[in-house]
Chains A and B, each alone.
Chain A
Amino acid sequence: MRFVLEKRPAPSRLMLGLTPILAVIATMLAGGVMFWALGANPVEAIRTIFVDPLFDPTFASYSRPQLLVKAAPLILIAIGLSLGFRAGIWNIGAEGQYIIGAVVGAGVGLAFYPTESRLVFPAMVLAGAFGGWVWAMIPALLKTRLGTNEILVSLMLVYVAENILASVASGLLKNPEGRGFPGSRNFARDYPAASNLELLPGTGMHWGVIAAFIAVIAAYVLMTRHKMGFAIRLTGEAPRAARFAGVNPTRLVVFSLGMAGALAGMAGLFEVSGPAGQISIDFGSGYGFTAIIVAFLGRLHPIGILLAGLLMALTYIGGELAQLMLGMPAAAIQLFQGMLLFFLLAMDVFANYRIRLKTREAA
């Protein structure tokens, strides 16, 4: 007797919906084993990560607002990435687009310092989106003009962006009144007109959160009602049919990479002008990479990405809490997040195959 995988005639819709949940459960189990091996009580560790940030009387007042603060950039970036991913265009460099968006947007804001005008912040948002868009246009143009691989180019540009960040943090954008320390002026403290403040105290709600919600709705409408969304889906499912239908592959690459870049750039700007407060060498926090997990965990569907973004934010906050309370190493938390993507991809097998127990046939 042995188990065999048997291909399903069509992917199971039930399993497609169920696998994210199964993946979360499997991650909790495997993560629990890992925490146990690290010397912690697995149940307590899982509770610290998933439950305490929301319900613990001591931490919840701090953690709950953090949920939106962390989820907003993840959702914003993942929505942008999902457009390309649905069409088979793999932008792996959202982290770089996020950083450049922050640098350009912050640069525009700092250029106006100390002008107090209502127009400064909107100008920064546009500049942030523009910065991310430009950074994404590099792989887009190289792909459409020269046929380069967008995965490699966008990924390598992350490291270029990190070096630009390090350079401007200690050079061009350095705070002239910062006593020589690297890092720009702090928007929240020094420049209220250019800062992304909490809109409702105690909720974590800031402009980036609003932008993320708008992005979710806009992406939903785009994918279900608009020709561009149809072109994206068609290209992902049947590239030859897309060409026959008249979809212009060049325009599709430019559009989806551009949107991803602009949204990632905006996310960077909202972060630098709000939660982070300033351009600093360590501004890049890995949101751009984590958003890839969020996009897939959310099945590349806008509503799914919204939920996945919140879940992933929870693991960030809960992970910090676990570091603090249980002395877990930071790497363990990253491993935990990585497991989530691993299990999700592994579970996908069951959407396309079913397991059958097979008795040996008589030869």
Chain B
Amino acid sequence: MTDALLTLDGLTKAYPGVVANDAVSFAIQPGEVHALLGENGAGKSTLVKTIYGLVKPDAGKMFLHGAPFMPANPRAARAAGVAMVFQHFSLFDALTVAENVALGMDDPPGQGQLGARIREVSEAYGLPLDPDRIVGELSAGERQRVEIVRCLLQNPRLLIMDEPTSVLTPQEVDILFKTLRKLAAEGTSILYISHKLEEIRSLCEHATVLRLGQVVATCDPREKTARDLAEMMVGSALHVPEREGGETGDMLLEVKRLSLPAPGGFGTPLRDVSLSVLSGEILGIGGVAGNGQDELLAALSGERPAPSGSILLRQRDISRLRPNARRALGLLAAPEERLGHAAAPEMSLTENALLTGDVRERLSSRGFIRWGKAREFAARVIEAFDVRTPGPDTAAGALSGGNLQKFVIGREILQKPDVFVVNQPTWGVDASAAAAIRQALLDLAQTGAGVVVISQDLDELMEIADHFTALNEGRLAPIRPARGLTIEEIGLMMGGAHDMDVADEAAIAEVLA
């Protein structure tokens, strides 16, 4: 134990109503890439915040190089050699890269000297970065580099990375992994948090698995299959969706050259988006977060009206119709954000069933709500999709992410849509619920519905989609059959690596030719 870099001993932290960490103990060796694995809510974030001095544990000790370590704040943690790259960046859009880096340092050198050092470090680790560029112009991958370089300038002994790849294309992931391996080879330890199993298998030497705040397993991820790891995370056997080659039929949904300005200044404009979905087909739309996914869903669901003639359902122009009129015609949708968008957290499941089920399930007559029918519909969704909850009177916000997602998806599928559009169907959902949801989407397509799945999880899309395309800055890549696509081609459709902008276009043309 004495040669370990960081040792955690019995860390416990409770919040009202939940024990986030329950006597967590493990050790990180010098130069090791150590994975912290667990579902959403397993306690990963609380644990790393404790190490970084953002959270004070209720009990337990930490040792850094054998000496007691309990940072009172992040500054103390940084001084001890612990650095962290957050999932959500803390950068100022209007400032340059160098200015942003200086803001995050405890004693920054002068700007000229700093610029030189940024160049030096970023090149040494294969993370090209121009210190004079304005952060607002950078891609998500480049912004992450700013955060990483900021950490590296302080020569950390432990680098914590929280879900670093969720904003990256496959090419950018490769670049990042090369950097991390180089760092590890030089003796820096890396604590890598993720729920993407393949990544962990290719990058990490050691994994600690958390479930409900407790360490349930430690292993060498390279010796386990992704399925083994998932089962450790979930604690039960997994059901892998079955895919039978479905028959596709009539044209159901057609989007023709849809362009929409960005809503309210933030967000991404949709640029010239065209797609078509046949009966029995699942169209997968990949892409890095923030490239127009929410905007596309809002345009299809009817939350934002689209220009006339741009959205057709069975050859009928529905561009100007509001959500309920589209539902009546058979187009249903499920947005990404469960709490506050797909469902109202403080309302009961019955009320949430009414939220989208009114038109097709006839839950009201002459404006008056038939609560009995609404409750019964909610109960049917709960039953059919195995939603774990005391009953339809439970508030939606009281359900776990996976259970609420099953409810939200089930609510639409039970209404027998002709076309179903869903954004991030399994985001933050435990593996068994995710498998159930994917199977439900496949089953829906089998019955002849057209399904559009927007997702940032490429494995998921490859598993269920017949056709694949990707959103990149509000543009849709040409739709291609999913079978036979390589990860390289997918990456280029998603926008490639952003430091290769010039090479990009030519490469895409070459690959797609």
Contact = CB atoms under 8 A, between A and B. Distances in A.
**A and B: bona fide binding partners:** yes
Interface of A: 6-10, 225-228, 230, 233-234, 237-238, 240-246, 248, 361, 363
Interface in B327-358: 327, 333, 335, 337, 340-347, 351, 354-356, 358
B323 interface: yes
Interface in B350-368: 351, 354-356, 358, 364, 367-368
Interface string B240-258: 0000000000000000000
Given A227-B364, A246-B322, A238 B369 contact: no
Interface residues of B, number: 35
B294 to A, nearest CB: 10
12 contacts: A225-B368, A226-B367, A227-B369, A238-B347, A240-B340, A241-B344, A241-B355, A243-B303, A245-B324, A245-B355, A245-B356, A245-B358
Contact of A234 (B56, B327, B355, B397): B355
Nearest to A238: B344
Interface string B368-388: 110100000000000000000
B230 to A, nearest CB: 29
**B17, B322, B344, B364 — most chain A CB neighbours (10 Å):** B344
Contacts of B214: none
Contact of B342 (A6, A227, A244, A246): A244
B67 interface: no
Interface of B: 16-17, 56, 72, 301-303, 322-324, 327, 333, 335, 337, 340-347, 351, 354-356, 358, 364, 367-369, 371, 395, 397-398
Contact of A241 (B340, B364, B367): B340
B369 A6 contact: no
Contacts of B356: 244-245
Contacts of A238: 340-341, 343-347
Contacts of B346: 237-238
B342 A241 contact: yes
Interface of A, secondary structure class, is helix
A205 B449 CA distance: 62
A361 B56 contact: yes
A237 B347 contact: yes
Contact of B341 (A225, A230, A240): A240
Contacts of B397: 10
A244 B369 contact: no
Contacts of A225: 368-369, 371
Contact of A226 (B302, B351, B355, B368): B368
B342 A230 contact: no
B351 A230 contact: yes
Contacts of A10: 395, 397-398
| Max chain B Cβ within 10 angstroms of own Cβ: one of A240, A246, A363 | A246
Nearest to A245: B355
Given A227-B358, A241-B342, 5 more contacts: A7-B16, A243-B303, A244-B356, A246-B323, A246-B324
Nearest to B345: A238
B347 A246 contact: no
Given A226-B367, A245-B323, A246-B322, A8 B16 contact: yes
Contacts of B340: 238, 240-241
Given A244-B341, A244-B356, A245-B323, A227 B367 contact: yes
A230 B322 contact: no
A248 B323 CA distance: 10
